[in-house]
């Protein structure tokens, strides 16, 4: 499994590398494990979600394109009017190709967005680094949801998790494995002495 566990946590204003590199690494890692499970039954519910595994891919694509659109349009009080969806008749490998396209659009947008640019999000007006961290979170936690449902044990890489925690989860507890902490922050696991979260959100505000 490819890992970037040695990568330093980027600052809130880091809109050039390493965020595009981290987003590309997350895309490669998540799509590789999902492609390996392409022959499984994707009509199963994703772990702890109301969507099937196949519908969860739609959610990922929608989020990634939406974040790119927000960075491009930079609205201050609303979501954008562009929505992305995958062909409901397409096989899983083709749907994963669609997710890669969506992730590439976000990666390019993050790379090209000025550091001072800000855009609306219901969980905090954010900059390019924040939207990159949101994209990595969408990829990582929903890949976790799908692989758990399909019986393919997987967790996000430590370096990716550490970067995300440092950018959009300012309340993350210290002293724990970063991957386990990211799963705890998103209501998907427990940490020693801490119960599973039943409600959560990130904070994309620039700090």
Asked if residue 9 has pLDDT above 70, the reply is no
Taking the C-alpha atoms of residue 164 and residue 179, their distance in angstroms, rounded to an integer, is 10
- The rounded mean pLDDT for the chain is 92
pLDDT tens-digit map of 66-93: 999 999 999 999 999 999 999 999 999 9
Query: What residues contact 136, with CB distance under 8 A and at least 6 apart?
Result: 22, 23, 26, 160, 163, 164
Tell me the two tokens of residue 183: 């799963």
Taking the C-alpha atoms of residue 116 and residue 62, their distance in angstroms, rounded to an integer, is 25
pLDDT band at 11 (very low <50, low <70, confident <90, very high): very low
Please report the domains of the chain, with CATH numbers, ordered by start residue. Answer: 19-185 (1.20.120.450)
């Amino acid at each position: 499994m490819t890992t970037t566990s040695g990568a330093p946590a980027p600052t809130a204003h880091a809109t050039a590398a390493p965020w595009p590199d981290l987003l590309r690494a997350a895309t490669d890692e998540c799509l590789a494990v999902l492609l390996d499970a392409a022959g499984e039954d994707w009509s199963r519910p994703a772990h702890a979600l109301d969507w099937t595994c196949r519908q969860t891919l739609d959610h990922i694509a929608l989020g990634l394109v939406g974040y790119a659109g927000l960075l491009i349009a930079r609205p201050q009080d609303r979501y954008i009017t562009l929505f992305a969806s995958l062909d409901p008749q397409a096989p899983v490998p083709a749907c994963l190709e669609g997710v890669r396209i969506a992730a590439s659009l976000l990666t390019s947008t993050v790379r090209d967005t000025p550091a001072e640019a800000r855009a609306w999000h219901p969980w905090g007006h954010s900059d390019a680094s924040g939207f990159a961290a949101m994209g990595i979170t969408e990829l990582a936690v929903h890949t976790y949801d799908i692989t758990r449902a399909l019986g393919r044990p997987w967790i996000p890489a430590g370096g990716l998790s550490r970067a995300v925690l440092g950018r959009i989860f300012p309340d993350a507890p210290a002293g724990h494995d970063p991957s386990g902490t990211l799963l705890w922050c998103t209501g998907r696991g427990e940490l020693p002495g801490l119960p599973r979260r039943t409600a959560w959100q990130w904070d994309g505000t620039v700090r």
